């Protein structure tokens, strides 16, 4: 038995070690690798636990005549979150390598042959050259293809992503041209659902649990330790973990939602906002707000908050040329 445990432990250690080395070699880090593994299960645990808690404990405690109505609401939130979460995972933003493969080399030649065949020498010209290099088609050495502006390689997805915004650890995929709408709808429902649940749970906890728990049980790590040593029940530990993750998701989803709304209003991505903050380039979108919204959600954007419509109303966008974007 001891040898079997030792063999399993060594095998697991070897797998983790190999995995970490592989990730670091591909341009990621240990923190990103761990988050990419645990974030999805944490999300599923939280959302399903909150749904069960609200459906069978909290809502029946507060409501009698309108219990069914509130149960329908919390179930709708669950369905909307899960459907958009799955779309975030499986709606592809992968750049097709068959699109204008010669563009990259042509644009690089144009940069090199500017200024009478010489690279710019002045500071102003150097800045202009960096802007061109940022916006022109460029080669991706990992995928061995030419990629258009706003298309970046993700070392965790192993591919180039059109209009790459960021890599979402909860969905284990990149947010980009085709699934950004699902990310925003997911955040909206997550923020609404977790806030609704938390407001009910706090009052429910004070009424039902407060007189039976220790002050230390308010902190999930202490509750977990107390349960290990037999001073707390498994159900209370599960409840406090659920409440802790629920509060965490309120803060996370609301913060990301506000950030995404601001980015849509500016017509830029998360990656570009970081580049702008570092003062490397300035990205501006000349379209009005309605066109910027349609560039993410497609036509009839409000319907996306009820039903996933990425196959019917595609983003009103040119992902290769970006005629409305200006780099300064």
pLDDT tens by residue, 201-243: 999 998 888 877 777 777 888 888 888 888 878 888 889 899 9
Range in 10-14, 102-106, 277-281 with the lowest mean pLDDT: 102-106
Taking alpha carbons only, the member of 178, 172, 148 closest to residue 160 is 148
Q: E-assigned strands of the chain?
A: 138-140, 145-147, 152-154, 159-161, 166-168, 173-175, 283-285, 325-327
Q: What is the CA radius of gyration of the chain?
A: 25
pTM tops 0.85, yes or no:
no
| pLDDT surpasses 60 at 85 | yes
Residue 273, H or E segment = helix 270-277
Q: What is the phi-psi region of residue 232: left when phi exceeds 0, alpha when psi lies from -120 to 50, beta otherwise?
A: beta
Reported confidence tier of residue 128, pLDDT bands at 50, 70, 90: low
| pLDDT surpasses 70 at 4 | no
Among 77-86, 97-106, 112-121, 227-236, top mean pLDDT goes to 77-86
Q: Round to the nearest angstrom and report the end-to-end CA distance of the chain.
A: 67
Taking alpha carbons only, the member of 172, 163, 153 closest to residue 263 is 163
Across the range 134-146, mean pLDDT stands at 82
Residue 326, both tokens: 């200006």
Reported confidence tier of residue 66, pLDDT bands at 50, 70, 90: very high
CA of residue 287 relative to chain centroid, distance: 25
Task: Write down the pLDDT at residue 27.
Answer: 64
Domain segments of the chain: what residues?
34-92+166-327, 94-163
Task: Write down the pLDDT at residue 210.
Answer: 82
| H-helix segments, 26-119 | 30-53, 59-62, 67-90, 103-112, 114-117
| pLDDT surpasses 60 at 308 | yes
Long-range pairs for 160-164: beta carbons < 8 A, 24 or more residues apart: 160/94, 160/95, 161/93, 161/94, 161/95, 162/93, 162/94, 162/95, 162/319, 163/93, 163/269, 163/317, 163/319, 164/93, 164/269, 164/271
DSSP bridge partners of 325: 285
DSSP bridge partners of 153: 160
Task: Write down the pLDDT at residue 113.
Answer: 43
Reported confidence tier of residue 133, pLDDT bands at 50, 70, 90: low
Decide which of 72 and 207 is more confident: 72
Contact 61, 208 (CB under 8 A): yes
């Amino acid at each position: 038995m001891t040898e079997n445990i030792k063999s399993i432990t060594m095998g697991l250690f070897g797998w983790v070690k190999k995995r970490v080395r592989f990730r670091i070699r591909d341009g990621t880090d240990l923190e990103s690798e761990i988050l990419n593994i645990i974030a999805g299960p944490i999300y599923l645990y939280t959302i399903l636990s909150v749904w069960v808690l609200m459906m069978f404990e909290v809502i029946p405690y507060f409501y009698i005549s309108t219990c069914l109505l509130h149960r329908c609401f919390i179930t709708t939130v669950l369905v909307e979150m899960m459907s958009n979460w799955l779309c975030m995972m499986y709606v592809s933003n992968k750049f097709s390598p068959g699109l204008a493969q010669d563009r990259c080399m042509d644009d690089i030649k144009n940069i090199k042959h500017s200024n009478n065949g010489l690279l710019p020498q002045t500071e102003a010209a150097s800045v202009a050259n960096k802007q061109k290099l940022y916006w022109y088609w460029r080669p991706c050495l990992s995928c061995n293809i030419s990629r258009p502006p706003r298309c970046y390689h993700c070392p965790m997805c192993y591919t180039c992503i059109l209009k790459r915004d960021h890599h979402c650890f909860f969905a284990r995929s990149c947010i980009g041209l085709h699934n950004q709408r699902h990310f925003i709808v997911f955040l909206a429902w997550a923020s609404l659902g977790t806030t609704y649940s938390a407001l009910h749970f706090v009052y429910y906890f004070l009424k039902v649990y407060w007189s039976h728990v220790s002050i230390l049980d308010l902190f999930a790590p202490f509750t977990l330790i107390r349960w290990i040593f037999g001073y707390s029940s498994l159900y209370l530990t599960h409840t406090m973990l659920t409440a802790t993750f629920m509060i965490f998701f309120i803060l996370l989803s609301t913060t990301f939602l506000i950030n995404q709304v601001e980015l849509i209003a500016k017509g830029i991505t998360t990656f570009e906002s970081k580049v702008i903050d570092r003062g490397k380039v300035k990205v501006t979108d000349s379209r009005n707000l309605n066109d910027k919204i349609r560039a993410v959600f497609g036509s009839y954007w409000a319907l996306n908050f009820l039903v996933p419509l990425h196959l019917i109303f595609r983003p009103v966008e040119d992902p290769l040329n970006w005629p409305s974007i200006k780099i300064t």
